[in-house]
Amino acid sequence: MKTLKINGQWRLRPKDSGAIAPFCKYFLTTESIPCTLPGDIHSALLEQQLIMDPYYGTNELDVQWVGKHDWILSKVFPVTREQMESGMPVLTLTMADTIITVMVNQKVAGTCDNQFRRFRFDLSSLLQEGDNTIELHFSSAENAAIAEAAKLAYPIPYSVYPVSAKHRNLIRKTQSHSGWDWGPCIMSFGVYENITLDFINEGIVESIVTDTKPSSNKNWEATVEVIYNASKALMLNCKASLAKSVQKGEVQVMRGLNKLTFHFECKDIEQWWPCGEGKPTLYELTLNLGEQTFSKRIGFRTLTVNTPEDGQGGKGMVFCVNGRDVFAKGANWIPLDALVSRFSKQRYDQLLQDCVEANMNMVRLWGGGLYEMDAFYDACDEKGIMIWHDCMFSCSLYPSSPAFLANVEAELRYQIPRLRDHASIALWCGNNEDLGAISWYEETKNNPVRYIIDYDRLNEGTVGRIIRELDPNRTWWPSSPSAGIDDFSDNWHDDSRGDMHFWSVWHEGKPFEAYYSIKPRFVSEFGYQSFPSLSTVKLYTPDEQLNLTSPVMEHHQKNDRGNSIIIENFSRYFRFPNSLEHMLYLSQVQQAMAMKTAVEYWRTLRPVCMGTIFWQLNDNWPVASWSSIDYTGKWKLLQYAAKHFYAPILPIAYVKEDGIIEVFVINDRATPLVNAKVSIKFCHFDGTKLEKQEYFQDFAPQSSTHICTIDGKKQFNAEAQDTFVYFKLVSNEVYRENCLFLDRPKKCSLVDPKLKVSVAKAHEGFSVTVSCLAPAFFVSLDAGSLKGTFTDNFFDIRPTAQKVVVFKTKEKLTIKQFRDSLTVYDLYGSSH
């Protein structure tokens, strides 16, 4: 089969130059501009400087016109006589966004109306030998959604954000393109994957799916099922191999769809394990079917989501891999960028490697984004990152018309077979918060039955039905949050069943201690915002607006009360910062402190709680948000904190309302921790030691062990404002530290630590040595705009033990460049 990729440079023009003249007069004198596909139209306009950078200042507001107009992409491509005679020409579009009429040689080849589907068009009657013209006529998805809304018999509500395109829930497109409470409204157009023209002689493979199951010892059985669309009846030469098992021969196929099945007995298999549990071993599956060759990687593993009833009205949620219960540790994943042209394999790989380095084993692919590019799933497979996979519905009600449901069904019949062989996908979830959304809007409150029926027809009657049919061995989870299959409990407020989203601390303004008020089974969303570092803020803010309440800074805060919540909590927990830099630093301290409070406490509840997935890992533009890694790839303090609070072995302590301290040790590993010593030191803030306790103990695998309960005031006369507690866990294989304040930091009698900082060359970059004369807390190293990460950050140090960390640089730097860019902050308020 001959394949022609119609990628590269296309020509872009508006459908109606006069209509866009008030916004861009350029096209009145110039017919078209270059546009690269795969890619998007906004990026082409930006490259030609016809729009301003939508990520800078308030320029997002000035580019809204682009999404409200229609555009045409065109290209001339040659076709030879040999190609014409080699087979039936079939054009394939995937990730085509969104409402598109495909024209070939001025004739309609077909239409697209769903970003998440694969569209194929027979061009037999349209192609000609020599030059051919293809045009993609893009209709405004925003206008199409408005038109659909006008046809509705009753309104179908959706969540609206500060800058927002209307009725985004009525079209099958990345929902966050219409704006979110962390992202811009950029109603993207484009085609984001290869455009191919296949000349089919024998046939074409529609899908390849694999089922595996253990047989005995290290032996596994594998069944590979191929859906092959034959252009005619013929004998097809076949060869298939998997894990040193090979099959070859011939098979008779009839014209149309054929199901081909291959069975393998695979011996001496190493299982695929999540990060931190073992090696994520993968095996190559290769298929030669006539003139086509395919390959993919298969991970042999069992993965179930167990939901045991506890007999007291509670129901757990436990990911069990290869028979071992795994505590899920991770963050929520949103699209890499608001401009899809900026997606890249390198960015996927780096963000997921950042997860590995922060001891995460799961990401939740959130339902307001997209079914991701292959590079995302491949990297998760390679790194052992489990995926909680939402389907692409979020924070809305959706239509249940036959046409809409048929479109969704076609979307899933493409996506589920495409993705289901990835070992990393742990479950399919129907949507993000749509079940809860039935209670959000006036329309749904006034007529709940109508919208419950709509929800059921879409989520259970279509999404759930198709997933159960196409991937019956993987768990179907109806919604997030939910209590699981056929259980419609109110998981917004019930911590006892399934997964929950806990937003009382951020949205309701409750103190961090509110995290202690619940005993969840699995928390798939909870978060706290911060600002990015100054180097990132300067990417979108002119110097004269470097103030938290300036128009630009407020524009880059998409949560209505976001800046107010951050600033109010400065005064709740901390002494107010005295500069913009310290405000940015302290916002990240506050965010990390909130997430550490939640995660560490919930980890002590193991095995009642078996998962924490905080909101959110990444940003899709530079912004104040809940992310732990900002848009530039720079780790916020939360990501460094996660590296600590997600450590597989960790001493944890928290203070209850009555001032009583509870101390635990967590061991998530599958092996025991033996001959360990736990040291607990009560110290004054000048470094004077008040009291010390030591415990010698073994810790069982996969356990949370209560060490002791301490009343510091009664036992040691420790005043909360004058005392902190230092914890250390030491064994032959582990050294872990932790620290606990007994009161809010603003009330504590901190002492100037008089930090000293020195820099030297190191093997992978530069070493930084930090020492102090009095204990220093929440020490933060910031390398400005330099590319790289520190091996440790957001740490506490004592006068008796200096801290040495390495900045692992990703660019060539001199020691002077690094030293000049380095700033060191601490809670006392000094910077160096």
* pLDDT value at residue 831: 64
* pLDDT value at residue 830: 65
Cα gap 760→764, rounded to integer Å: 11
Indicate the SS3 state at residue 604: helix
> Please, what is the Cα angle at 24 between 18 and 27, to 5 degrees?
60
Q: Are 96 and 43 in contact (CB under 8 A)?
A: no
Q: Please name which of 580, 583, 575 lies closest in space to residue 547, comparing C-alpha atoms.
A: 580
Cα gap 100→115, rounded to integer Å: 10
Burial-class residue 201 by CB neighbours within 10 Å (0-12, 13-18, 19+): middle
CA dist list (Å): 334 to 172, 214, 626, 629:
17, 34, 11, 12
* Category of 820 on φ-ψ map: left (φ > 0), alpha (ψ -120 to 50) or beta: alpha
Q: Please name which of 392, 394, 397, 412 lies closest in space to residue 462, comparing C-alpha atoms.
A: 412
> Please, what is the Cα angle at 610 between 283 and 456, to 5 degrees?
85
Q: Are 703 and 671 in contact (CB under 8 A)?
A: no
Structure tokens at 394: 């979020």
Residue linked to tokens 């900045």? 807
> Please, what is the Cα angle at 76 between 71 and 78, to 5 degrees?
155
Q: Are 159 and 166 in contact (CB under 8 A)?
A: no
Measured from the Cβ of residue 198, the count of other Cβ atoms closer than 10 Å reads 19
Cα maximum dimension of the chain: 93
- SS3 readout for 767-820: EEEEECCCCEEEEEEECCCCCEEECCCCEEEECCECEEEEEEECCCCCHHHHHH
Place domain 649-747 in its CATH homologous superfamily.
Immunoglobulins (2.60.40.10)
**Please, which contacts does 672-675 make with residues 24 or more away whose CB atoms are closer than 8 Å?**
672/698, 672/699, 672/700, 672/701, 673/649, 673/698, 673/699, 673/731, 673/733, 673/734, 674/698, 674/731, 675/731, 675/732
Indicate the SS3 state at residue 718: coil
- For 203-298, CATH number out of 3.40.190.10, 2.30.110.10, 2.60.40.10, 3.40.50.10860 equals 2.60.40.10
Place domain 756-825 in its CATH homologous superfamily.
Immunoglobulins (2.60.40.10)
Sheet containing 99-104, strands listed edge to edge, beginning at the edge strand earlier in sequence? 33-37, 8-14, 71-79, 130-139, 99-104, 107-112
Cα gap 646→376, rounded to integer Å: 22
Establish whether domains 203-298 and 756-825 are of one fold: yes
Place domain 2-197 in its CATH homologous superfamily.
Galactose-binding domain-like (2.60.120.260)
Q: Which residues contact 135 (CB under 8 A, 6 or more apart)?
A: 72, 73, 74, 102, 103, 104
* pLDDT value at residue 212: 97
Instruction: Kindly give the parts of the chain with pLDDT less than 50.
Output: none
> Please, what is the Cα angle at 103 between 100 and 108, to 5 degrees?
95
* pLDDT value at residue 199: 96
Measured from the Cβ of residue 613, the count of other Cβ atoms closer than 10 Å reads 27
Q: Is the pTM of this model over 0.85?
A: yes
> Please, what is the angle between helix 345-357 and helix 374-383, to 10°?
30
Cα gap 621→558, rounded to integer Å: 11
Sign of CA dihedral 22, 191, 619, 50: negative
The per-residue DSSP string of 65-130 comes to HHHTS-EEEEEEEEE-HHHHHHSEEEEEEESEESEEEEEETTEEEEEE-BTTSEEEEE-TTT--SE
Checking DSSP bridges between strand 283-289 and strand 234-242, what pairing results, if any?
Answer: antiparallel
Cα gap 650→535, rounded to integer Å: 33
Cα gap 158→92, rounded to integer Å: 32
Structure tokens at 661: 């301290």
Q: Which residues contact 523 (CB under 8 A, 6 or more apart)?
A: 499, 500, 501, 502, 598, 602, 609, 611, 612, 613
> Please, what is the Cα angle at 757 between 756 and 761, to 5 degrees?
155
Q: Please name which of 637, 635, 592 lies closest in space to residue 786, comparing C-alpha atoms.
A: 635
Q: Would you identify the CATH topology of the domain 303-645?
A: TIM Barrel (3.20.20)
The residues spanned by each domain of the chain are 2-197, 203-298, 303-645, 649-747, 756-825
Cα gap 283→266, rounded to integer Å: 10
* pLDDT value at residue 755: 96
Give 227's strand partners.
Answer: 207, 259
Q: Are 438 and 452 in contact (CB under 8 A)?
A: yes
Measured from the Cβ of residue 535, the count of other Cβ atoms closer than 10 Å reads 18
- SS3 readout for 622-676: CCEECCCECCCCCECHHHHHHHHHCCCEEEEEEECCCCCEEEEEEECCCCCEEEE
